[in-house]
Amino acid sequence: MDDAQRRLIFALDVDSFEDARGWVEKLQGQVGAFKVGKQLFTRCGPDVVRMIRDHGVDVFLDLKYHDIPNTVAMAGLEALKLGVWMFNVHALGGAEMMAKLVEQVDKVCPRGTEGRPLLIAVTILTSSTDATLQAIGIERPVAEMVPRLAKLAQQAGMDGVVASPQEVGLIRQACGRDFAIVTPGVRPADASLDDQKRVMTPGEALRYGADYLVIGRPISAAPDPAAAAAAILAEMRGALQA
Total binding residues toward ligand C5P, as defined by CB under 6 A: 16
Given a contact cutoff of 8 angstroms between Cβ atoms, the answer to whether 55 and 234 are in contact is no
Q: Which of these, 15, 72, 21, lies nearest to 50 by C-alpha position?
A: 21
By CB under 6 A, name the one of 88, 104, 154, 196 that touches ligand C5P: 196
Q: How far is the CB of 21 from ligand C5P (least distance, A)?
A: 18
Is residue 184 at the binding interface for ligand C5P, with CB under 6 A as the rule? yes
Is residue 48 at the binding interface for ligand C5P, with CB under 6 A as the rule? no
Is residue 9 at the binding interface for ligand C5P, with CB under 6 A as the rule? no
Distance, in Å, from the CA atom of 123 to the CA atom of 100, rounded to the nearest integer, reads 18
Strand, helix or coil at 55?
A: coil
How many CA within 13 A on the CB side of residue 212? Answer: 24
> Among residues 64, 81, 107, 197, which one is catalytic?
64
Is residue 201 at the binding interface for ligand C5P, with CB under 6 A as the rule? no
Q: How far is the CB of 195 from ligand C5P (least distance, A)?
A: 7
Q: Which of these, 31, 100, 99, 89, lies nearest to 64 by C-alpha position?
A: 89
What letter represents residue 239's amino acid?
A: A
Q: How far is the CB of 112 from ligand C5P (least distance, A)?
A: 28
Give every CB contact of residue 124 below 8 A, 6+ residues apart in sequence: 92, 133, 142, 145, 146, 149
Q: Which of these, 27, 15, 36, lies nearest to 55 by C-alpha position?
A: 27
Is residue 66 at the binding interface for ligand C5P, with CB under 6 A as the rule? no
Residue 64 falls in the annotated catalytic set: yes
The angle subtended at Cα 30 by Cα 224 and Cα 28, nearest 5°, is 95
Q: Which stretch binds ligand C5P (CB under 6 A): 51-59, 69-77, 142-150, 215-223?
A: 215-223
Is residue 199 at the binding interface for ligand C5P, with CB under 6 A as the rule? no
Q: Of the two residues 115 and 141, which places its CB atom closer to ligand C5P in the complex?
A: 141
Q: Which of residues 89-118 bind ligand C5P (CB under 6 A)?
A: none
Site track 150-179 with ligand C5P (rule: CB under 6 A), x = hit: ------------x-x---------------
Site track 118-137 with ligand C5P (rule: CB under 6 A), x = hit: -------xx-----------
- Measured in degrees and rounded to the nearest 5, phi and psi for residue 123 equal -85, -90
Residues designated as active site: 64
